């Protein structure tokens, strides 16, 4: 189990993926793991990580980690997860 702080969530360049931008707080995170996004106290959405990348902020040179989730054949799922507008949250990754 790992923890990831999501600073903000952005659409990928292809508009069919989401990039959870932030930093790893605990453990290791790799492709194939799942981000656990709480919807309510009892409901959680699992989002599969398709890639892990390093991002660099142009202004400050600050390094962040990007967790990429692709929704190529699932536009409804993309819309649901994007509408959650995950930002400034610590999430579990398994």
Specify the pTM.
0.92
Q: Band the pLDDT of 43: cuts 50, 70, 90.
A: very high
Neighbours of 93 (CB within 10 A): 22
**pLDDT score for 58:** 81
Number of domains in the chain: 1
Q: pLDDT tens for residues 65-89?
A: 999 999 998 999 999 999 999 999 9
Q: Which strand (E) or helix (H) includes residue 68? A: strand 63-70
Q: pLDDT tens for residues 3-40?
A: 999 999 999 999 999 999 999 999 999 999 999 999 99
CATH code of the domain containing 13: 2.40.30
How far apart are the C-alpha atoms of 91 and 20, rounded to whole Å?
11
Neighbours of 89 (CB within 10 A): 16
Three-state DSSP state, 79: helix
Domain of residue 79 covers: 2-93
Neighbours of 39 (CB within 10 A): 10
**pLDDT score for 62:** 84
Neighbours of 46 (CB within 10 A): 10
More confident residue, 65 or 60: 65
């Amino acid at each position: 189990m790992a923890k990831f702080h999501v600073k903000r969530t952005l659409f990928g360049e292809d508009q069919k993926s989401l990039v959870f931008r932030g930093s790893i707080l605990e453990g290791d995170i790799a492709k194939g793991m799942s981000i656990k996004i709480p919807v309510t106290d009892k409901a959680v959405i699992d989002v599969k990580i398709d890639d892990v990348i390093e991002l660099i902020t142009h202004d400050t040179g600050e390094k962040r980690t990007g967790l990429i989730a692709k929704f190529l054949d699932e536009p409804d799922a993309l819309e649901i997860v994007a509408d959650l507008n995950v930002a400034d949250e610590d999430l579990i990754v398994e």
